[in-house]
Amino acid sequence: MSALVIALFRYGFLILLWLFVFAVVLTVKKDVHGTRVTSRTPGRAFNRPASRTTPQPRRSSTPAPSALAHPHLVVSGGSLAGSTIPLSGSITVGRSPDSALVLDDGYTSARHAHFYTDGHDWYVEDLNSTNGTWVGGTRIYEPTRLGFGTPVTIGKTTLELRQ
């Protein structure tokens, strides 16, 4: 092979190597610092008429929780099993110290999931976490309505919405 071809292969390999290094650094940065989330009024997206670009929340088969019922999250599995978190508004769950429920778990992102109400129903939304949020054994990609007793798995921790 000519020296030109060998030089091109070397530079091409070097460029690919640096692209890989940058991808790893960005992934670690995203996991450590979390994803930037724009704030919105909880439930705002659900009051607009449906359109092709706006995903609708997936409905659960369990009855909807009442806004007057004083619901709470119970940690049913994981290192914080038995803990109870009263719900009055919206909360964020993750490794970040500013989360309402801080999970010291290597499988949990800094800002992992967001629980909120629209006044009648409770919803969980995955905040683009690395390992996902699972409701009833199914990974969610859009805000999902929660029924009482439905398990929500975040990393190694399992939560349930209860009255």
CATH number of the domain at 104, please: 2.60.200.20
**Same-domain pairing of 24 and 77:** no
Question: Rounded to an integer, what distance in angstroms lies between the CA atom of residue 163 and that of residue 148?
Answer: 7
**Same-domain pairing of 87 and 27:** no
What token pair was written down for 122? 């409770």
The predicted pLDDT at position 56 comes to 55
Specify if 21 maps to a domain.
yes
**Same-domain pairing of 81 and 156:** yes
The predicted pLDDT at position 50 comes to 43
The predicted pLDDT at position 13 comes to 97
Specify if 41 maps to a domain.
no
Query: Which has the closest alpha carbon to 105: 93, 122, 89?
Result: 93
Quote the domain boundaries for residue 145: 72-162
The predicted pLDDT at position 59 comes to 54
The 10 Å Cβ neighbour count of residue 152 is 22
Question: Rounded to an integer, what distance in angstroms lies between the CA atom of residue 144 and that of residue 151?
Answer: 12
Question: Residue 7 is which amino acid?
Answer: A
The predicted pLDDT at position 58 comes to 57
**Residue ranges, the chain, pLDDT below 70:** 34-69
